[in-house]
Structure 1
Amino acid sequence: MSQTSTHTEGARKMSLPVLTAMVVGSMVGAGVFSLPRNFAQATGVLGAIGAWLIAGAGMLMLAFVFQTLAMRKPHLDAGVYAYAKEGFGQYPGFFSAFGYWASACVGNVTYWVLIKSTVGLVVPVFGEGATIVAVAVSTVGVWAFHVMILRGVREAAKINQIVTVAKLLPILLFVVIVAVALRADVFGANLWAGAARTPGALFEQIRATMLVTVFVFLGVEGASVYSRYARRRADVGRATVLGFLAVLALFASVSILSYGVLPKAGLAGLRQPSMGGVLESVVGVWGAGLIGVGLIVSVLGAYLAWTLMAAEVLFVAAKDQDMPAFLARENQRNVPVTALVMTSALITAVLFVTLFSDDAFTFTLKLTSALSLVPYLLAAGYALRLAVTGETYDDTPAGRGRDLTIAALATFYTAFLLVAAGLKFLLLSCIVYAPGTILFVLTRRERGLRPFSPAELILFAVVAAGAVAGIAGLVTGRITI
């Protein structure tokens, strides 16, 4: 056995509970603490129920997709990126890896914004998380985590498991207290949002919540990204589904029960983290303090998990010669050090961009969701392709019809999300994707290959045109951040 194989086998130390904690830890971050306000700004109780039914069903299909792919393509590591490359070629695979990485980095910025907004309640100089002081302190935090992760991936994963348990306690307490305090008259008055009580109006309300639901579910693929560390390959799929179902129940409870405590307008006007305002209205000031502490623990844990996953995707892509070779460098503790530096650098850069945003948290939340949609769509499309062609089903044909249905629904759902995201965030995503293609060109040159095939050149032209349109929109003021 080679030295590389020995190292890889030795690294496969994550059990089912640890992998499940990675999924839960990845998803339970800033999003859950912002749900009451974000939902109330878009819809009432009925729309919220409809949104969770659609998002829950769609994301469950996506979770099943990752479960299926983990079992049928066990040799593919770093799931999201590997599936896109295997199914659709080099450039789409690069797009998936780069987009997933960029999404993780922008998502990590939302965490720092929300932490500083929470601290800003008692330290006004932090404002709502996007002041010069807030950005400076956040930058220090980014690089402090960077140093900690350099100690070793598996050590950081163990820290995340402990943090996952700690951060769930205040959220569960919130659900119990708000459920007991729920007032039927307030809940009933919040059933509808606005005067129009038509199916069309309800659908528009649901559509307006879609990027929010995508954001809170980001991380459903957490176990898949760390598949190369799993003790048993089957645990990857189990951890994905178990973690998803637990988080879905938690998120739906937080958002829907809040409608029974405050009027919709009151919820919509709360300062983020809005969970704190909801609990404060029930139990007093200590409720906001409890949620604030829980948020900081939760967000720092999620930040750790997402930084790990972002660096891992760049590292594996470089090992597969789909990113420049310098991103495959590791330190003595087998941490992908160059990929981690690049990750921390992009997070820092986006932090400074928030200084120019009118609503830094909402902007980074929606951009994170939009960037993640291409990798998710390509993974779902690959599962659909396998089921349609019958690849991997020769020896085990049973279940092909089920897998085909699941993959088709997951593909439709992620395509619907791209439409729901709106043109603004698609163009902003192109601004991120287009310059990232430089890494693809460098990689191809390292291998002595032509940069693009004819089809890939067309794809790049479309993305570049989108980037130009997005920049023009920013310059003219038609697009604001």
Structure 2
Amino acid sequence: MSEDREAGDSPEETRSVDKLSVAALTALVAGSMVGAGVFSLPGRFAREAGVAGALIAWVIAGVGMLMLAFVFQMLAIREPKLDSGVFAYAKAGFGEYLGFFSGFGYWASACAGNTFYWVFIMSTLSGLGVRGLGGGDTVLAVAVSSVGLWGFFLLIRKGVQNATFINTIITIAKIVPIVIFVLLCIFVFKLHVFLQNWAGADYAGSLGEQIRGTMLVTVFVFLGVEGASVYSRHARSREDVGRTTVLGFLSVFAVFASVTIASYGIMPMADIAALPQPSMAGVLEHAVGPWGRWFVSIGLIVSVLGAYLAWSLMAAEVLSVMAESQDMPRFLARTNRNGVPENAVLLSSLLVQLLLVILLFASNALDLALDLTSALTLIPFFLAALFALKLVLSRNGGTEKNTGKNTLVPRDIMLAILACLYTAFLIFAAGLQFLLLSFVIYAPASILFVMTRREQGRTLFTAREFVILMVSLIGAAAGIVALATGFIQL
């Protein structure tokens, strides 16, 4: 999960990266896409898939996410006025209510991601010997996380912002352990262990089930792909835009796949699956000794704390931008004397706090937070891909009229179709349980939509919007029943 989702650059940063070379721009794009989720990859994959399943899963995720990255890049070029976030595409293509749902889901995903960060930190400290924190889901862990949560709230409320030196520290803290991990794993790689892990352990299902079981974690680590197009304006030429997107994405893809696959040559997958998170630390400890765990864990904690600040700012910005565009109640756009949208920051912090408490009752808090973060982004991503398809097909069968030329764009049509198919597959792979759980979170958000319409003196729901409301309420009701009956288990 990246800390730069939809994050724009400050004026100073924009000037400093203007007109970069292909190599420099590729590094910038790649750095923005590597997040803390990579530290959890060995364990998450080993619980679901063997080497063969993991390789196929990464190919599917790599191709699908690259198509999605190209779609966001295409939309940034074709519709530059839609610059208020992913939800703007859903609103432009399918109306205000679906646009609202898209924005709310994206915001809720950011809050779930911040919840994951706190659980991840607590689990990491537990692995270093701090007692009482368990897997980040004990009462003590939630209490410590809550102190950190509201401490950050006070800092942000006072106007603390991301700074270049903070981003530099974050980048070093996350990249150096990853590079060292891959190099050391290659050095101590055991071919016979790797081959034993090829088909998967006894607990792994069929190849199809193995692939499906890894899809949500691949979505999680690639969160931030939608922000890669932000840097396109700094390219020296339009040709460099596509080139840097591909090179940056492939670099990140190589890192994620290498961390996953190299681990299979160090330990039996059942042993990897049993490691506490961050599993990368456990694998490196097995390979080189105790210092490996400390090395990875310290880098992770520094990286995650910095990323948490960035994601907290981003979550609040999503709400405030939606309020400014009259898609959320006005109170969420109000700023304090420090220029901070205080109510948006408060609401974001309250949701993180609620999720931390809920995770006390989860069988695996870290996995639930990760999967929920991924699941909540699927609808916004699917609607953005669907809007791209609608856009290219509505222009004279795939011609771009903005240029004044009748330029055929079959490439754009193909990219949009593939992105739609991939995001639809992700919704299927997530399964009915996470779809219903998403409805449970989405449906109550309609209260904010009603508040917004009342402020504007407008009809609460059009006929079409009322149908969407009914679908969301039925889905939420089904989700609540599923939770009550045990069909959905946290």
Equivalent pair of 2:201/2:270 in contact (CA under 8 Å): no
Structure 1: 5+ residue runs without aligned partners?
1-7
- Identity between Structure 1 and Structure 2 (%): 55
- Supply the distance in 2 between the matched residues of 1:103 and 1:471 (Cα, whole angstroms): 20
- Supply the distance in 1 between the matched residues of 2:489 and 2:50 (Cα, whole angstroms): 27
Which residue, 40, 44, 47 being the options, matches 2:46? 40
- Supply the distance in 2 between the matched residues of 1:304 and 1:23 (Cα, whole angstroms): 20
Any idea what the Cα deviations from partners look like across 1:123-155, whole Å, max 9, x if unmatched? 111111111111111112122223333455764
- Matched residue, 2:70: 64
- Matched residue, 1:181: 188
Which residue, 398, 420, 424 being the options, matches 1:415? 424
Does 2:466 match 1:478?
A: no
Does 2:285 match 1:276?
A: no
Equivalent pair of 1:25/1:305 in contact (CA under 8 Å): no
Any idea what the Cα deviations from partners look like across 1:432-455, whole Å, max 9, x if unmatched? 001011111111111111111111
- Supply the distance in 1 between the matched residues of 2:57 and 2:10 (Cα, whole angstroms): 43
**Higher alpha-carbon deviation: 414-423 or 301-310:** 301-310
Equivalent positions of 1:15-164 (< 5 A) are: 15=17, 27-121=33-127, 122-150=129-157, 152=159, 155-156=162-163, 159-164=166-171
Does 2:403 match 1:384?
A: no
User: Alpha carbons of 1:314 and 1:130: their partners in 2 closer, same or farther (altered >3 Å)?
Assistant: same
TM-score normalised to the size of structure 1?
Answer: 0.90
Equivalent positions of 1:320-469 (< 5 A) are: 320-390=325-395, 393-394=400-401, 395=403, 397-398=406-407, 400-469=409-478
Any idea what the Cα deviations from partners look like across 1:292-326, whole Å, max 9, x if unmatched? 11211222233223222211211111111011111
Query: What is the letter of the counterpart of residue 366 of structure 1?
Result: D
- Could you say what secondary structure the match of 2:354 adopts? helix
Query: What is the letter of the counterpart of residue 296 of structure 1?
Result: I
Equivalent pair of 2:173/2:300 in contact (CA under 8 Å): no
- Supply the distance in 2 between the matched residues of 1:314 and 1:308 (Cα, whole angstroms): 10
- Could you say what secondary structure the match of 2:83 adopts? coil
1:81: Cα distance to partner? 1.1
Query: What is the letter of the counterpart of residue 265 of structure 2?
Result: G
Query: What is the letter of the counterpart of residue 308 of structure 1?
Result: L
1:239: Cα distance to partner? 7.4
- Could you say what secondary structure the match of 1:331 adopts? coil
User: Alpha carbons of 1:46 and 1:291: their partners in 2 closer, same or farther (altered >3 Å)?
Assistant: same
Does 2:259 match 1:259?
A: no
- Supply the distance in 2 between the matched residues of 1:231 and 1:57 (Cα, whole angstroms): 25
Structure 2: 5+ residue runs without aligned partners?
1-7
Does 2:172 match 1:165?
A: yes
- Matched residue, 1:222: 227
Query: What is the letter of the counterpart of residue 321 of structure 1?
Result: Q
User: Alpha carbons of 1:78 and 1:249: their partners in 2 closer, same or farther (altered >3 Å)?
Assistant: farther
User: Alpha carbons of 1:336 and 1:26: their partners in 2 closer, same or farther (altered >3 Å)?
Assistant: farther
1:238: Cα distance to partner? 7.8
- Matched residue, 1:308: 313
- Matched residue, 1:317: 322
**Higher alpha-carbon deviation: 14-23 or 250-259:** 14-23
Equivalent pair of 1:22/1:161 in contact (CA under 8 Å): no
- Matched residue, 2:5: none
- Matched residue, 1:244: 249
User: Alpha carbons of 1:12 and 1:415: their partners in 2 closer, same or farther (altered >3 Å)?
Assistant: farther
Equivalent pair of 1:171/1:294 in contact (CA under 8 Å): no
- Matched residue, 2:208: 203
**Higher alpha-carbon deviation: 69-78 or 254-263:** 69-78
Equivalent pair of 1:152/1:335 in contact (CA under 8 Å): yes
- Could you say what secondary structure the match of 2:489 adopts? coil
- What do you get for the CA RMSD once the two structures are aligned? 2.8
Query: What is the letter of the counterpart of residue 302 of structure 2?
Result: V
- Supply the distance in 2 between the matched residues of 1:203 and 1:468 (Cα, whole angstroms): 30
Equivalent pair of 1:26/1:306 in contact (CA under 8 Å): no
Query: What is the letter of the counterpart of residue 74 of structure 1?
Result: P
- Matched residue, 1:5: none
- Supply the distance in 2 between the matched residues of 1:151 and 1:398 (Cα, whole angstroms): 51
User: Alpha carbons of 1:470 and 1:182: their partners in 2 closer, same or farther (altered >3 Å)?
Assistant: same
1:66: Cα distance to partner? 0.9
- Could you say what secondary structure the match of 1:43 adopts? coil
Equivalent pair of 1:28/1:298 in contact (CA under 8 Å): no
- Supply the distance in 2 between the matched residues of 1:120 and 1:9 (Cα, whole angstroms): 36
User: Alpha carbons of 1:63 and 1:401: their partners in 2 closer, same or farther (altered >3 Å)?
Assistant: same
Query: What is the letter of the counterpart of residue 119 of structure 2?
Result: V
- Supply the distance in 1 between the matched residues of 2:12 and 2:416 (Cα, whole angstroms): 28
1:332: Cα distance to partner? 4.1
- Supply the distance in 1 between the matched residues of 2:35 and 2:326 (Cα, whole angstroms): 32
- Supply the distance in 1 between the matched residues of 2:303 and 2:313 (Cα, whole angstroms): 16
TM-score normalised to the size of structure 2?
Answer: 0.89
Query: What is the letter of the counterpart of residue 349 of structure 2?
Result: S
- Could you say what secondary structure the match of 1:125 adopts? coil
User: Alpha carbons of 1:268 and 1:166: their partners in 2 closer, same or farther (altered >3 Å)?
Assistant: closer
- Could you say what secondary structure the match of 1:345 adopts? helix
1:170: Cα distance to partner? 0.8
User: Alpha carbons of 1:254 and 1:186: their partners in 2 closer, same or farther (altered >3 Å)?
Assistant: same
- Supply the distance in 2 between the matched residues of 1:263 and 1:124 (Cα, whole angstroms): 28
- Could you say what secondary structure the match of 1:124 adopts? coil
Query: What is the letter of the counterpart of residue 70 of structure 1?
Result: A
